[in-house]
C-alpha cells in the first residue's frame, strides 16, 4: 500500500481532492439531509475496495494509518467537496475503541466486518431523561450465566434502522455512583427483544430512531473493557465527536448559501443586512481559527481537554445564527420546504434552519457544554 504519510501535506491534499472530484457522484454532493445507507452504499463500497474505509486505523488492522495531520486534511477535503456521510459509527468510534481496549477475539470478529461494511453500527447512548446528562442512563445489563440480559430504551439513535449492530452503555452496578456503574456492550440488532422505531422529524425525514431492548441477551464476550468502566471509553469518544461537531465547514457552507440568497435578492444594497452578514463572517473566521487550534492538538498527538466543549458551542450557534438570518432574508419563502427559485438560483433556506436547530443539541446540548466549561475549565462552583 502507498505510504501516504510520506507525501508532503500539500501533495496529499491535491491527491485526495483529485480522487474525490473524479469519483464522487455529483448528485450526492452537499445533501440537504442525512443520507440513508442504500443511497450512499455504492460509493462507500468503492472506497472499501480501495482500502479507504478507515483512514485513521493502523495498517495492521486494515486501515490506512494516516497521521493526525493527514486525517484532518482528509476530513477537510470530504467536507469541502460536500461528501455525504455514511453511517460510519463503526469506523470512527467502535473500531478505534476495539483497537485500544478490545480483546484479540473482538478485534478478529468485528474489525474486518467494519472495514467491509458488512456490519453497520449505531450509537446507543441517549435515553429518555438521559441525553446530555448521559450518566443518568437507566438501561440495565444484568449478568445471567455467559450473558448480560439488557432491558431499557435508547433514543435519538442515528440511522438505527440501517444498522446491524449497536454499541451501547448500560448500567451494570446499581449501587455504584452513576458514572462508575456503567459498562460498554456490543449488541447484534437481530437479537430477539430489539425493536427499532424511526422518528420522523419536522423536515419529514427519519434520521433518528427509538430502540427498545426487552430481555436482550448479549454475550459477555461482547463487553468491551472491564465491567463498570464504560464511562471512561464513552468520554474519550465524545471528545473527538465534539471536535468534528465544531468543524467550521457547516457554518462556512451555510454562509455561502446565505450569500447566494442575498445576491439573488439584492440584499447587499441594504446596509442593515450587510452589517449582520459582516458580523457572521467574522464569527465564522473566529470559528475557523479556534478549530485549527484544537486540530493542532490532535496533530501533535495531544489529548483534547474539556475546553473542546467551547468549540462545539461556538460552531453550532454560529451555524444557527446564519440559518436564522437566511430564513428571515427569504421572507415568505423562508417558511416553505424545499428549494425556492430566486431569479436563476435555487435556495432552500428552511432546510438550513432545520439542520441548525438540532446541531445545538446532539453531541451534548450546549447548556451542558457550558456547564462543563464552567466547572472543568473555569473552576466555578
Active site residues: 241
Q: Kindly state the helix (H) or strand (E) to which residue 198 belongs, with its residue range.
A: strand 194-199
CB 58 within 8 A of CB 65: yes
Calpha distance 91→110 (Å, rounded): 11
The 10 Å Cβ neighbour count of residue 105 is: 9
Query: Phi and psi (nearest 5°) for 118?
Result: -65, -35
Calpha distance 129→136 (Å, rounded): 8
Query: Phi and psi (nearest 5°) for 44?
Result: -75, -30
Calpha distance 249→240 (Å, rounded): 16
Q: Which residues contact 206 (CB under 8 A, 6 or more apart)?
A: 161, 198, 199, 200
Grid cell locating 81: 467537496
If you count them, how many residues does the chain have?
381
Mapped onto helix, strand or coil, the DSSP state of residue 214 is: strand
Calpha distance 265→326 (Å, rounded): 11
Q: Which residues contact 285 (CB under 8 A, 6 or more apart)?
A: none
Strand partners, 347: 340
Q: Which residues contact 104 (CB under 8 A, 6 or more apart)?
A: none
Calpha distance 93→234 (Å, rounded): 10
Amino acid at each position: 500500500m502507498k505510504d501516504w504519510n510520506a507525501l508532503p501535506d500539500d501533495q496529499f491534499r491535491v491527491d485526495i481532492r483529485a480522487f474525490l472530484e473524479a469519483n464522487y457522484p455529483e448528485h450526492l454532493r452537499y445533501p440537504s439531509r442525512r443520507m440513508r445507507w442504500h443511497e450512499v452504499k455504492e460509493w462507500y463500497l468503492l472506497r472499501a475496495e480501495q482500502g479507504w474505509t478507515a483512514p485513521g486505523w493502523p495498517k495492521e488492522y486494515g486501515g490506512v494509518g494516516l497521521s493526525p495531520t493527514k486525517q484532518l486534511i482528509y476530513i477537510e477535503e470530504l467536507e469541502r467537496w460536500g461528501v455525504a456521510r455514511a453511517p460510519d459509527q463503526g469506523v470512527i468510534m467502535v473500531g478505534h475503541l476495539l483497537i485500544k481496549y478490545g480483546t484479540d477475539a473482538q478485534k478478529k470478529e468485528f474489525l474486518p466486518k467494519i472495514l467491509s461494511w458488512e456490519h453497520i453500527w449505531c450509537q446507543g447512548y441517549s435515553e429518555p431523561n438521559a441525553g446530555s446528562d448521559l450518566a443518568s442512563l437507566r438501561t440495565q445489563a444484568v449478568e445471567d450465566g455467559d450473558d448480560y440480559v439488557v432491558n431499557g430504551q435508547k433514543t435519538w439513535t442515528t440511522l438505527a434502522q440501517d444498522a446491524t449492530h449497536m454499541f451501547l452503555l448500560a448500567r451494570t452496578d446499581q449501587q455504584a455512583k452513576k458514572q462508575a456503574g456503567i459498562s460498554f456492550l456490543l449488541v447484534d440488532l437481530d437479537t430477539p427483544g430489539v425493536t427499532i422505531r424511526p422518528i420522523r422529524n419536522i423536515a419529514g425525514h427519519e434520521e433518528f430512531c427509538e430502540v427498545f431492548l426487552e430481555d436482550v441477551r448479549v454475550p459477555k464476550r461482547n463487553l468491551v473493557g472491564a465491567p463498570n468502566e464504560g464511562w471512561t471509553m464513552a468520554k474519550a469518544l465524545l471528545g473527538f465527536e465534539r471536535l468534528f461537531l465544531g468543524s467550521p465547514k457547516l457554518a462556512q457552507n451555510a454562509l455561502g448559501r446565505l450569500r447566494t440568497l442575498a445576491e439573488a435578492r439584492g440584499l447587499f444594497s441594504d446596509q442593515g443586512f450587510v452589517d449582520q452578514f459582516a458580523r457572521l463572517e467574522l464569527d465564522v473566521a473566529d470559528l475557523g481559527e479556534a478549530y485549527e487550534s484544537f486540530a493542532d492538538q490532535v496533530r501533535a498527538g495531544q489529548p483534547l481537554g474539556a475546553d473542546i466543549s467551547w468549540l462545539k458551542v461556538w460552531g453550532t450557534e454560529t451555524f444557527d445564527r446564519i440559518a436564522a438570518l437566511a430564513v428571515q432574508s427569504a421572507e415568505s419563502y423562508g417558511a416553505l420546504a424545499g428549494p425556492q427559485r430566486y431569479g436563476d438560483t435555487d435556495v432552500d433556506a428552511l432546510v438550513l434552519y432545520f439542520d441548525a436547530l438540532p446541531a445545538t443539541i446532539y453531541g451534548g446540548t450546549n447548556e451542558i457544554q457550558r456547564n462543563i466549561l464552567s466547572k472543568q475549565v473555569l473552576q466555578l462552583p
